[in-house]
Structure 1
Amino acid sequence: MSQVIYKDSAFRYDSGLPNVELVFPPNTGWLEVDLIDEQIEHLWQCINAKGDLYNDSLAGHIDSSFQMEDIDGRFWNMTLQPLVDCFGEKIGNEGSDLPLNQTHPYFLKSFWVNYQKKHEFNPIHKHTGVYSFVIWLKVPTDTYEQNSLPIGAGRNGSVVSDFEFQYADTSGKLRGYVYKMDKGMEGKMLLFPSWLKHCVYPYYECDETRVSISGNVCVDTTKTFSKRFDPGEDGKQETVQVMTATNKNTDLEFRINDKGNGLEIGDALRENKTEVIGKREIPFMDGKGIVIKKDEPKEGTREYYLRKNIGEGENHNLNPLEEHPLKEFREKNNVNRTYAKSEEGMEHMIDEHEYPFWARDNKEMKEWIENEPPFKMIPKACHAHMTDWDAHVRCPAIERLVDWMKTGLWPGFGYGTPFINAEVWGVVYNKGQALDWHNHRTSRMSFAYYVNCPEGSSPLMFKDGNISIEPEEGKMIIFDGRMSHKVPPNPCDGRVIISGNLFFN
């Protein structure tokens, strides 16, 4: 009988003394995130479209709290879901101990905005769900000034206007962790277990309103991951992953042609990892991944712009070079597209995207690429350190980058059928190293992602159109691999990129 493998979950740190290590057993934790301008702008858009009063569902003594909708599901897809995945990977999956006999995905259950005025407060409380979050968008007060007022001066607590977590440590002692509220907290987000108690202290002598957003992530029991036995290609029984989605009208079952770990139905469909079991034509998906029929797609989505401009029932599998009707969609989503005309008169597109900072791990990518042995069959055009061409298989951070391209880029930006495979490699350019003029032969789509760009790093240059793109960490460039391009001699050490070719059916 085999033994259960014990997993050491303690955090260990160097004590500074020889042969001595600091050991901290697991207790609790949360994610602290600095949101970027694009995320904050989207949240303000959600606030401007806020719904009904939500006070009767909340514990807080705040008069103005309103329900919100995550417009187009962008906050969930591009911010919250990656953070939930990060929490599960780095701290622990809070939903793993729920009394459920099947596996279900997470979803954004509730979402609201708080307009807190002076003297209002949130008493010590916890939330429903598995994960919860708070985001501060406007903080008109300063904690130092607030705690200098007569109500705070000379007191032992000094928590006027502040936010505090309260929890028991591993010895059973009650602990508190305080976030001091000032302008520096604007754009700050905390993701924490819903059971973690917290409170918001009142502020005084300020007539301006503090604006914050909160929400809860729950388990969606209307969708289920399960396994069943199906005949394989050789006639033998094989285990396949199946997801079932339920709405008020019907149950739909999908076979997941992959491990399916953490995949929503919509993600799996977009990645060509599912097939509908049975014959049923279902043209549209809602933002939660449930496959349904709709008379009209939601405004702002890719399907909305397609039907708005070329009508229902026509071919929505657009050529990647098609400027219209997705131009409006790309502009709304901050995609920079350039066209380059070749000597033969063909137009090639070059798109610039940003890999979301909360999803990227450039440090892990850089270290992996630098420590990899050089590729034994390095192309003649490359005068730099190049890895083997399976980086997305052997480096988890690069694998997540490619997964984001599949789920974050291909569904919405007019690239046509999602790619089914890729070859991906990393390159380090130190001082004087370069990449001569070359192309990627018959590759319909290629990409370059900037991992590390010291000041003065060389640009990526395209011969067609005489285009030069300056490097910027986090920038993703999608281009036709048949275009000739190069990197001139790099004037510094440490220019690190990831490049690759994408393959389609």
Structure 2
Amino acid sequence: MEVTKISPPVSGFLQVRLDQEIIDYLWKIIDTSQKNKNKNAKGELIGNISKSILLEDIDSFFFKSVCVPLIKYYRETNITRTDPVARNALLGPKSKLVLDKLWVNYQYKTEFNPYHDHSGVYSFAIWLKIPYGWLDLKKLPQYNDMNDDDIKAGCFEFEYNDSLGGVQNYSYRLSPELEGVMVFFPAKLRHCVYPFYETDEPRISIAGNLSYLPS
């Protein structure tokens, strides 16, 4: 008998370690947003967190330096090799993919971001400051006698369906070692951020959406 395993394609996501030049630029536009008292985006977002502030990508530096090459790489390497929105007949031949929203999140202890997805085609999250480590959080008394896989404190987590319709998760156990890391993913890939404890310092992250402008 001849047996062949067939694994149906599932859309993946990218993990990126950003260059220091990009990290410095992101901190710069955060500082600029504070000086200019940019709009508070909390009313437009689902996060149960203290503060979300809109950012401006000056001269489209981040879009050109990071987003454009990642879009190209994702399309070339994604296992499904499809881009449903780009193939939509309602989009004209001159439709442009743009960074239409960029914001910074300040999350303090006990705050969280429930499961959600984003608008647009692609989205990303960047961890700039992580003031805790999962290995320390798992030592808290409420997690005694629990399996490590069930301890979600401080985690960023994706949720997706497998080929049988079951719900699966992919978790990032956050710690300072992941500062400067970006995840780039299809905008409809659901994700969440669990609460952390002990420290009074905020977790600072940047998120953004890439969407098509109809021609």
Both proteins in one fold, TM over 0.5: yes
* 1:202-244: CA deviation from partner (whole Å, max 9, x where unpaired): 00111111110000000011xx3xxxxxxxxxxxxxxxxxxxx
**Structure 1, unpaired ranges of 5+:** 1-18, 225-505
Q: Does 1:43 align with 2:26?
A: yes
Cα 1:94–1:142 change in 2 (3 A) is farther
Match of 1:216 in 2: 209
- 1 CA distance for matches of 2:168 and 2:161? 6
SS in 1 for 2:169: strand
Instruction: Confirm or deny: 8 A CA contact 1:141 1:183 kept in the other structure.
Output: yes
* 1:377-431: CA deviation from partner (whole Å, max 9, x where unpaired): xxxxxxxxxxxxxxxxxxxxxxxxxxxxxxxxxxxxxxxxxxxxxxxxxxxxxxx
- 1:171 Cα offset (Å): 1.6
Q: Does 1:148 align with 2:139?
A: yes
Q: Does 1:196 align with 2:189?
A: yes
Cα 1:220–1:126 change in 2 (3 A) is same
What letter matches 2:198 in structure 1?
E
Match of 2:48 in 1: 61
- 1:20 Cα offset (Å): 7.6
SS in 2 for 1:96: coil
- 2 CA distance for matches of 1:110 and 1:45? 17
- 1:151 Cα offset (Å): 2.8
Cα 1:21–1:184 change in 2 (3 A) is farther
What letter matches 2:145 in structure 1?
G
Instruction: Confirm or deny: 8 A CA contact 1:94 1:193 kept in the other structure.
Output: no
- 1 CA distance for matches of 2:155 and 2:89? 35
Larger Rg: 1
- 1 CA distance for matches of 2:176 and 2:50? 23
Q: Does 1:85 align with 2:76?
A: no
- 1:163 Cα offset (Å): 0.5
Instruction: Confirm or deny: 8 A CA contact 1:122 1:199 kept in the other structure.
Output: yes
Match of 1:73 in 2: 60
Cα 1:40–1:22 change in 2 (3 A) is farther
Aligned with 1:110 (options 101, 111, 114): 101
- 1:101 Cα offset (Å): 4.5
**Structure 2, unpaired ranges of 5+:** none
- 1 CA distance for matches of 2:88 and 2:53? 29
- 2 CA distance for matches of 1:99 and 1:208? 47
Cα 1:70–1:21 change in 2 (3 A) is farther
SS in 1 for 2:68: helix
- 2 CA distance for matches of 1:185 and 1:20? 41
What letter matches 1:143 in structure 2?
W
* 1:463-484: CA deviation from partner (whole Å, max 9, x where unpaired): xxxxxxxxxxxxxxxxxxxxxx
Structure 1: which 4+ aligned runs deviate by more than 4 Å? Answer: 19-22
Instruction: Confirm or deny: 8 A CA contact 1:134 1:190 kept in the other structure.
Output: yes
Please, what is the CA RMSD of the aligned residues?
1.6
What letter matches 1:100 in structure 2?
L
Cα 1:76–1:201 change in 2 (3 A) is same
Match of 1:120 in 2: 111
- 1:147 Cα offset (Å): 1.6
- 1:88 Cα offset (Å): 1.5
SS in 2 for 1:198: strand
SS in 1 for 2:123: strand
Cα 1:45–1:21 change in 2 (3 A) is farther
Aligned with 1:137 (options 128, 131, 142): 128
- 2 CA distance for matches of 1:121 and 1:85? 32
Instruction: Confirm or deny: 8 A CA contact 1:94 1:131 kept in the other structure.
Output: no
- 1:52 Cα offset (Å): 1.5
Identity across aligned pairs (percent)?
39
- 2 CA distance for matches of 1:188 and 1:21? 37
What letter matches 1:171 in structure 2?
L
Instruction: Confirm or deny: 8 A CA contact 1:33 1:190 kept in the other structure.
Output: yes
Q: How is 1:470-485 mapped onto 2 (pairs within 5 angstroms)?
A: none
Cα 1:135–1:94 change in 2 (3 A) is farther
- Between 1 and 2, higher relative CO (CA 8 Å, sep ≥ 6) is seen in 2
Q: Does 1:169 align with 2:156?
A: no
How many residues end up aligned between the 2 structures? 204
Aligned with 1:100 (options 78, 90, 103): 90
Cα 1:128–1:101 change in 2 (3 A) is closer
Q: How is 1:135-284 mapped onto 2 (pairs within 5 angstroms)?
A: 135-156=126-147, 157-221=150-214, 224=215
SS in 2 for 1:48: helix
- 1:183 Cα offset (Å): 1.1
Match of 1:25 in 2: 8
Cα 1:27–1:208 change in 2 (3 A) is same
* 1:185-215: CA deviation from partner (whole Å, max 9, x where unpaired): 1010001011110000000111111110000
Instruction: Confirm or deny: 8 A CA contact 1:125 1:197 kept in the other structure.
Output: yes
- 1:175 Cα offset (Å): 0.3
